Structure 1
């Protein structure tokens, strides 16, 4: 089994879902590469496609993750106000 990286992708090119805290990026097979915010914060930088097992390296700085963490906090506060 090969563990070669298919590509390197900037974090800004991923779609981020604050509810699931999941970053997604389209895979050539039609599915999506996925990685959790927690994994990135822990220093992981490989997003895997669950369908075809291709992998991409996520290019980011730890400082980039602060923006996404703040979005989660803001979403949680907005949800609390709606309730």
Structure 2
């Protein structure tokens, strides 16, 4: 991520919606679309969700242990 890109907000993982079928976390973006990030990106240490329709990004606040309950929903 370059220094010119800005984070729209910091959002707790509990505020995201998790879909076990797509394995994506989503959260409403002000543009009307949704920020999204996969559970595997989070496992790899990524914590920035991106809106596919605009340039906004949000930082996800979570601990590694938080992911286990979502991983349990997949398997």
TM-score bracket relative to the smaller structure:
over 0.9
How many residue pairs were aligned? 73
SS at the partner of 2:6?
coil
Q: Deviations over 1:7-64 (max 9, x none)?
A: 0000000000001100000000000000000000000000000001200000000000
Moved over 2 A (4+): none
The runs of 5 or more residues in structure 2 that have no matched partner are none
Q: Deviations over 1:52-77 (max 9, x none)?
A: 1200000000000000000111xxxx
Q: Which has the higher strand share?
A: 2
TM-score, length of structure 1 as denominator length:
0.85
Q: Which has the higher helix share?
A: 1
1:8 matched residue in structure 2: 10
1:71 matched residue in structure 2: 73
Alpha-carbon distance between aligned partners in 2 of 1:46 and 1:53, rounded to the nearest angstrom: 12
Bigger CA radius of gyration: 1
TM-score, length of structure 2 as denominator length:
0.94
